[in-house]
Chains A and B, each alone.
Chain A
Amino acid sequence: RKEVEQDPGPFNVPEGATVAFNCTYSNSASQSFFWYRQDCRKEPKLLMSVYSSGNEDGRFTAQLNRASQYISLLIRDSKLSDSATYLCAVKTGTGGFKTIFGAGTRLFVKA
């Protein structure tokens, strides 16, 4: 089993739709969780950190479920500019924390 798993998609949604991505992680001792956005041939850019209480930034909401070991990202009112690959990242390990990235979920928002 991979340490961090995501549904690769692609997700094809119309503008204005709500879309949700999940990401599961295998190490129950993982402490920090992040969502990154990566455009084609560009670097990953931090979208948001994920906190136990959940957090929201405009149209984006991130949730953490420790019991089931997954994090989620909800995008409301999708825009064309939201089209990208969304990577979840989990900081995990002992004696030196490493950030493990999921394979990414591709999102296409269409007019």
Chain B
Amino acid sequence: QAVVTQEPSLTVSPGGTATLTCGSSTGAVTSGHSPYWLQRKPGQAPRTLIYDINKKYSWTPARFSGSLLGGKAALTLSGAQPEDEAEYYCFLCYGGPWVFGGGTKLTVL
């Protein structure tokens, strides 16, 4: 099965902008992969923020946005808040099977 890659860690200043990326070992990430982004905080169940590249749920803060960027899926956080410190996982759909990336630990500091 494919391998999905993410930055292991990123640091962003409060109020700053961070861009997390999600690549595929099979080539460019496209709309066909329906990229998802999830937020994971310690002791909590995962919370899905973005689906199908850039679609949001009612609970997704407006400061989060999704896109395709340079052959990868991207999650952009504009105006980082301390509560955004978490692990962020992307996953991609390969027909039936899905594959998660290894996660990016985002530090707001």
* A, B: real partners: no
Interface residues of A (CB under 8 A from B): none
